[in-house]
Structure 1
Amino acid sequence: MAIICFDIGGSFIKGAVARAADDISPLPPRPTPLEDFEAFVATLIGVIAATGIRPQRIALSITGVIDPETGVATVANIPCIHGRTLAADLEAVLGVDVLIANDADCFALAEAGLGAGRGHAIVLGAILGSGVGGGLVVDGRLVNENGGFAGEWGHGPALPFFAGDPPVAIPAYECACGQRRCVNTVGGARGMERLHLEIHRTELSSKEIVTRWLAGDVDAARTIEIYVDLIASPLALAVNITGASIVPVGGGLSNSAPLISRIDETVRQRTLRRFSRPLVVPSGLTVEPGLTGAALLGLGTQA
């Protein structure tokens, strides 16, 4: 069996030929057409043609979500596929089955099958990148195989009005999803920077905040304390609800092992199940997890 998988980003389309979980061959990336659907399709066709094979299936990882009832795609950063019944539209042109999943879902599937979640029945993948994302895999299968929002612990009005010790007031930041007090508003890199500015009236990048925290800077330490306090309870609740026994973390903030360790310690203090070993852990896959997850989705590989 051979499938072709794609990781569709706002800048580039990355492709690969996958024959098995341990046989995934990346292809050269191509620029993503943002405004022209015909050009978008032509890019996919060009990648497929370059492989010289007739795939049995195509699987896509996208930075958006598929409505499980209508099949309509919400992909804000790629206007030409936003609002389309994307799988059906692509199948009509390409003539093969098309599977589509959110990039955080593909991350979770990759971690469950080949990464830090291997051997766990329930894996909650968490993304701490520019914002917050998540995906859920149960018994080796992606819960959102047909689209949906399972595992998206970063959205919903879940933030408290105060955090830290001593407590500070947390503004009701508006989220891109249209709600307020979403974990997404403070949980990613931009959220950490927003918190630091709110607390200390000083602009720093998330990388600078983490670096200063590790160097013993008092202001940065205060920001990290409040940041961890804010995201730990929603993440612990997500663990309670899903029954996840491992939470691999991806995204830029996952590059700081001390930060992930601090989050893990705090989350484990707040979960119903008491874990004597790390629960929130850095991702096991550091290269192309979205593309790998799309490959596993297309192959139908059990984690």
Structure 2
Amino acid sequence: MIICFDIGGSGIKAALARSASELTPLGRVPTPLDDFAAFVAAMRGVVDRAGAPQGTPIAISITGVVDPATEVITVANIPCADGRKLGPELAMALGRPVFVANDADCFALAEAVEGAGRGHRIVFGAILGTGVGGGIVIDGRIVNGAGGFAGEWGHGPVAATSAGEPPVAIPRFACGCGQTGCVDTVGAARGTERLHKHLFGVELPSTAIVEAWLAGDARAARTIEVQIDLLAGPLALVINVVGAGIVPVGGGLGKVPEFIALLDRAVRQRILRRLDAPLVVPSRLTLEPGLVGAAILGFVENAA
């Protein structure tokens, strides 16, 4: 049995897991952002409500990056937790073993074990949501590497400076990570909006751009074409390097099958391996993948 949490900047969701596929919801509470004592108290309230035996482990999927060497978390949108050894501090406060992992890693783990990655030894889970993220799972375990940054294909100056047919020049946009030209600046929702404004001088939400594209709008179609071209090369490189057998995609654009189908075709044209079957696919776990991933994390780490 595992008490699992999915923690973001706005809310803390929880469930009691008897297996990876048998989760009992424990509700949702707001995330205390600036008071660590309140943060711990919110989690303690959920743990007490779970009624699990003393010693039942806690597993957490959280926005932010955990350094596996130091256990220190970098989580800018939850300031009270940022820079803390979150796992050890919560374990001491709550009197239970605590396992913590990045939310994209937990997404990848959930898809690898219970979703589209079942039967594949190496799974790369790609996030195309507000930004671009990802996680690597090999043989049912998260690979997080030095610093905890493995799988973060959205960052690093790797985005192309021209894209589409005919090619159009793409600026090296500044990224929130401090670098310029990151895939995160042109991929996913904010990237769709940034590219559309760059191409046509019009500010629209990503949802409106995608809806217009699906309805046959030529300008929106051009934006999507350019975005697919910019995403496909870096994702193909990741697949070549890690040898992923399948790439489930989560986040808002992961819920648009037409977008994922285009991306899949573009990626398969760029990788070394020749495939007729889809490689980049929509995620299958649309219901609480963070909690499912946290549950699996807990069972795996607790058995280690």
- TM-score by length of structure 2 reads 0.96
Query: Would the alpha carbon gap of residues 106 and 147 (structure 1) be closer, same or farther in structure 2, given more than 3 Å must change?
Result: farther
Alignment-derived partner of residue 133 in structure 2? 133
Structure 2 residues without counterparts, runs of 5 or longer: none
Alignment-derived partner of residue 10 in structure 2? 11
- Write the distance in 2 (CA, Å) between the matches of 1:146 and 1:228: 30
Task: Verify the 8 A CA contact 1:19 1:299 in the aligned structure 2.
Answer: no
- Residue 23 of structure 2 aligns to a residue whose secondary structure is strand
Displacement of 1:271: 0.5
List, as ranges, runs of 4+ consecutive aligned residues in structure 1 with deviation greater than 6 Å.
none
Displacement of 1:286: 0.3
Task: Verify the 8 A CA contact 1:250 1:283 in the aligned structure 2.
Answer: yes
CA RMSD, Structure 1 to Structure 2 (Å): 1.4
1:183 aligns with 2:161: no
* TM-superposition CA deviations, 1:260-289 (whole Å, max 9, x none): 000000000001111110000000100100
Displacement of 1:167: 1.2
Task: Verify the 8 A CA contact 2:264 2:279 in the aligned structure 1.
Answer: yes
- Write the distance in 2 (CA, Å) between the matches of 1:266 and 1:166: 16
Alignment-derived partner of residue 159 in structure 1? 159
Task: Verify the 8 A CA contact 1:5 1:295 in the aligned structure 2.
Answer: yes
Task: Verify the 8 A CA contact 1:240 1:271 in the aligned structure 2.
Answer: yes
- Write the distance in 2 (CA, Å) between the matches of 1:127 and 1:287: 15
Displacement of 1:56: 2.4
Displacement of 1:69: 2.1
Task: Verify the 8 A CA contact 1:101 1:147 in the aligned structure 2.
Answer: no
Structure 1 residues without counterparts, runs of 5 or longer: none
Percent identity for Structure 1 against Structure 2: 62
Alignment of 1:236-247 (within 5 A): 236-247=236-247
> Which piece of structure 1 moves more, 145-154 or 161-170?
145-154
- Write the distance in 1 (CA, Å) between the matches of 2:16 and 2:147: 23
**Residue type at the aligned position of 2:107:** F
* TM-superposition CA deviations, 1:78-118 (whole Å, max 9, x none): 00000111111111211221111110000000001111111
Alignment-derived partner of residue 193 in structure 1? 193
Alignment-derived partner of residue 224 in structure 2? 224
Alignment-derived partner of residue 122 in structure 2? 122
Query: Would the alpha carbon gap of residues 264 and 238 (structure 1) be closer, same or farther in structure 2, given more than 3 Å must change?
Result: same
- Residue 29 of structure 1 aligns to a residue whose secondary structure is strand
Alignment-derived partner of residue 39 in structure 2? 40
Displacement of 1:146: 9.1
* TM-superposition CA deviations, 1:191-241 (whole Å, max 9, x none): 110000000011111111111112221111111110000000000000000
> Which piece of structure 1 moves more, 144-153 or 123-132?
144-153
1:248 aligns with 2:228: no
- Write the distance in 1 (CA, Å) between the matches of 2:143 and 2:14: 24
Displacement of 1:174: 1.1
How many aligned residue pairs are there?
301
- Residue 300 of structure 1 aligns to a residue whose secondary structure is helix
- Residue 227 of structure 2 aligns to a residue whose secondary structure is helix
- Write the distance in 2 (CA, Å) between the matches of 1:300 and 1:71: 18
Alignment-derived partner of residue 25 in structure 1? 24
- Write the distance in 2 (CA, Å) between the matches of 1:133 and 1:5: 22
- Write the distance in 1 (CA, Å) between the matches of 2:105 and 2:259: 23
> Which piece of structure 1 moves more, 261-270 or 17-26?
17-26
Task: Verify the 8 A CA contact 1:261 1:281 in the aligned structure 2.
Answer: yes
- TM-score by length of structure 1 reads 0.96
